[in-house]
Amino acid sequence: MEYRDLKKQYQVFKPDIDKAIEDVCTKASFIGGTPVKELEKQLAEFVGVKHCISCANGTDALQLALMTWNIGKGDVVLVPDFTYFSSGEVVSAVGATPIFVDVDKRTYNIDPKKLEETIAKIKSEGKFTPKAVVAVDLFGLPADFDKIIPICQKYGLKLLEDGAQGFGGRLHGKGACSFGDISTTSFFPAKPVGCYGDGGAIFTDNDDWAELLRSYAVHGKGSSKYDNIRIGMNSRLDTLQAAILQVKLKAFRDFELDRINKVAKKYTDLLADSNLITPIVPDEYYSSWAQYTIQLPKGTDRISLQKKLKEQGIPAMIYYIKPMHKQGAFEGTDSAIAYCPVTEEICDTVLSLPLDAYKTDDEIKLVVNAIKKLSKS
């Protein structure tokens, strides 16, 4: 069994994807052009925001947002301690300091109460100025924006929604990647909507920021690429990826998103009588299920369990094995100082199970039976 079966997905859409690739190659227009423009329009419409700016990957998308807000030295950006490295890496990359905040044990997303406590502490210490919050929609579930948005407003902080895993999720019927002042996503192949290489996108309703984002993404361009009015990056989504993504976005919207929710529900139903903690989707939320992540009983030998599953042909992954504040890159910096007991606990107990829109009920049963047996022994 594949962890995320991109081979199977390709077989389903092979005629459409091959045609999309052929069209781009025939026109030999590989940068920009109609597929990129059309895709940006479709993405903005799907998410429900005014502007979509495509770029080279989800990490650049986050960094471009911070550059647009002129965040840098002396500024603090609050980031969940339990996330992929990019969410915090970009803060350091622009010269600011990421401060990590603990997460909720059941949703895996940033804990609003701890977020507010941490902001208050930074303000009272006076060494740094808190400027923004990165709220990650981890594993496909939108962050707790009902609580996070008022906190950002109260303290005058910008909200950057890292929807790299959240694209397709919803809260109160509103699309993920529409909650941030600027929001971002990634089209890395294994994300909810993936391309055939790297890709990313940035979303905002703000006209001025949209213009700045387009400039920063293309060498700080002014009136043209050869008129450079600020120091930017070279971060574009190439035309081939945009053409492939148009096919994939349609499939995602038409049935994949619905189907992956059914597969996830199957897991949850079958695991209900086990000693494993299954992921929750609170009322009013809809997940895009970037991952299906369970928690094993404390003290379980996770590595040996993962190995035994592998022997039965079942791939399982550990997302994430280390709290952000304990990553070697932050050693000795202010970012290494954090009190995040929930993150420390779940980093030792989480296990993500194989999941995609094409998994059959029999495959889910096979995984569940294997893991039930192994987690008891």
Ligand X SMILES: *Cc1c(COP(=O)(O)O)cnc(C)c1O
The C-alpha atoms of residue 33 and residue 217 are separated, in whole angstroms, by: 16
Least Cβ distance, residue 144 to ligand X (angstroms): 16
Pick the closer one to ligand X by CB: 193 or 371.
Answer: 193
Pick the closer one to ligand X by CB: 178 or 186.
Answer: 186
Do the bridges between strand 200-204 and strand 182-186 make them parallel or antiparallel, or are there none, so unpaired? antiparallel
Residue 318 burial by Cβ neighbours in a 10 Å radius (0-12, 13-18, 19+) = middle
Least Cβ distance, residue 274 to ligand X (angstroms): 27
Least Cβ distance, residue 321 to ligand X (angstroms): 14
Whether the link from the prior residue into 320 is cis, omega within 30° of 0, is yes
Least Cβ distance, residue 367 to ligand X (angstroms): 22
Residue 273 burial by Cβ neighbours in a 10 Å radius (0-12, 13-18, 19+) = exposed
Pick the closer one to ligand X by CB: 102 or 162.
Answer: 162
Pick the closer one to ligand X by CB: 84 or 252.
Answer: 84
Pick the closer one to ligand X by CB: 78 or 370.
Answer: 78
Pick the closer one to ligand X by CB: 84 or 358.
Answer: 84
SS3 155: helix
Least Cβ distance, residue 249 to ligand X (angstroms): 16
Tokens of 269: 């139903």
The C-alpha atoms of residue 271 and residue 275 are separated, in whole angstroms, by: 8
Least Cβ distance, residue 326 to ligand X (angstroms): 17
Least Cβ distance, residue 290 to ligand X (angstroms): 7
E runs forming strands in the chain: 51-55, 75-80, 97-101, 129-136, 158-162, 170-171, 174-175, 182-186, 200-204, 285-286, 292-295, 350-353
Q: Which residue is nearest to ligand X (CB)?
A: 58
Q: What is the largest CA-CA distance in the chain?
A: 66
Name the site residues for ligand X (rule: CB under 6 A): 57-59, 83-84, 86-87, 136, 162, 164-165, 186, 188, 198, 200
Cβ neighbours for 230, distance < 8 A, ≥ 6 positions apart: 215, 216, 220
Pick the closer one to ligand X by CB: 63 or 215.
Answer: 63
